[in-house]
Structure 1
Amino acid sequence: MLDDAVPAPNVPVGSYAMAVRTGDLLFVSGHGAFEDGHPMHTGRLGKTMTTEQGARAAEAVMLNLLATIRAELGDLSSVAKVVKVVVFVNSAPDFTEQHVVANGATDLLAKAFGDAGRSARSAVGVASLPFGFAVEIEAVVQIGTSDVRAPSDS
C-alpha cells in the first residue's frame, strides 16, 4: 500500500482533537501539510500556485491526514470506507479549479483503498487558511469491515 509514504502524525496546533471516534465512524479534523513540524505547500491557488501545484499540495495534506488515521486506528487496514472528504482551497477570487486541486487528495485515496477510497467530496474555495496553507482537508472514515454491505437487491 502506501504506508512508506505516510509521514509521522502531527500534533494539534490548537485546542481540539486530531480525530474523534463515535461508533464505527472516525471524524478527522482539518489538516494541512507539515514536514518536520513546519508548514509546507503554502500559497494561494491562481495567484502564487498553479492548479498542478495545488493538486500536489492536496496529496501531501492527504498523506498527513492518513498519518492521523493510522495513529488513531493502529494501521490503515482498519479503514472500511472513506465516507466524506472536504477540501478547502486557498483561492484567488477568480480561481475556479478547486475540484481539480481536490483530485490530488481523492485520487490518492482511490489508489490506496480502491472502491473503499471513493468518497463523497466537496471542494471549496476560501480566502485564507491557517499558516497560509494552500489546502486544508477534513474527512469522515468508516472503521472495520463487518458493517460494510453491498446495496440490497430488494
Structure 2
Amino acid sequence: MSDAVHAGGAPKPVGHYPHARRVGDLLFLSGIGPREPATNAIPAGIEAQTHAVFANVRAVLDASDARWEDLADVTVYLTDMAGDFAGYNRVWAEYFPDAATAPCRTTLGITALPTPISIELKCIAHVPRERTP
C-alpha cells in the first residue's frame, strides 16, 4: 500500500503526479525544481536555484512528516554540468557539511528539464512509521 503526498508549501507539479509517495518506510519524491511556490518565479543563478530547490524538498519532506536527515539518496539533474557543478556543489556542502552523514548523491548532466530551470532533484528518504524518541 502507498500513500500519495501533496505538499501545499511546494510548487505545484508541472504534470499529473504527486509531490511524493510513501511506500512502507520509504518516501519517494517526484522531481523537484527551484520554482517559488507562491509565484512560480525561477531564481537567477545556480546557487540561488540550489537554495530554492532545497527549500522545496524540505517543504515536501515536512508535508510527509519526514526530516531533512531522513534523505537517503538524491539524484541531481543539471542542464549545464560544466558551468553549474561547482556552484551547486558549494551549496550542497552548506546543507550537508558532513559527508559521512550526507545522503548518497548522483549528479547527471542533461540537455533540458520541463521548465526553464537549471537544476532538479529526485530524492528517496527513509522514514520509519514508528520513530523512537
TM range (shorter): 0.7 to 0.9
Could you say which structure has the higher helix fraction?
Answer: 1
1:134/1:80 Cα in 2 relative to 1: closer, same or farther (>3 Å)? closer
Distance 1:87-1:102 versus aligned 2 partners, 3 A rule: farther
Aligned pair partner of 1:124 in 89, 105, 108: 108
Q: Could you list the runs of 5+ residues in structure 2 that have no partner in the other structure?
A: 1-7
> Runs of 4+ in structure 1 displaced over 3 angstroms?
114-117, 144-148
TM (norm. structure 2) is 0.74
TM-score (norm 1): 0.65
Residues 64 and 104 of structure 1: CA distance in aligned 2, closer, same or farther (over 3 Å): farther
1:23-102 pair list within 5 angstroms:
23-35=24-36, 36-41=38-43, 53-73=45-65, 76=67, 80-91=69-80, 95-96=81-82, 99-102=85-88
The reply to whether residue 136 of structure 1 matches residue 120 of structure 2 is yes
Aligned-pair CA distance for 1:33: 1.4
Distance 2:40 2:24 in 1: 33
Q: Which ranges of structure 1 fall in alignment gaps of 5 or more residues?
A: 1-6, 43-52, 149-154
Tell me the secondary structure at the aligned position of residue 131 of structure 1: coil
User: Counterparts of 2:33 and 2:130 in 1: how far apart (Å)?
Assistant: 31
Counterpart of 2:59 in structure 1: which amino acid? A
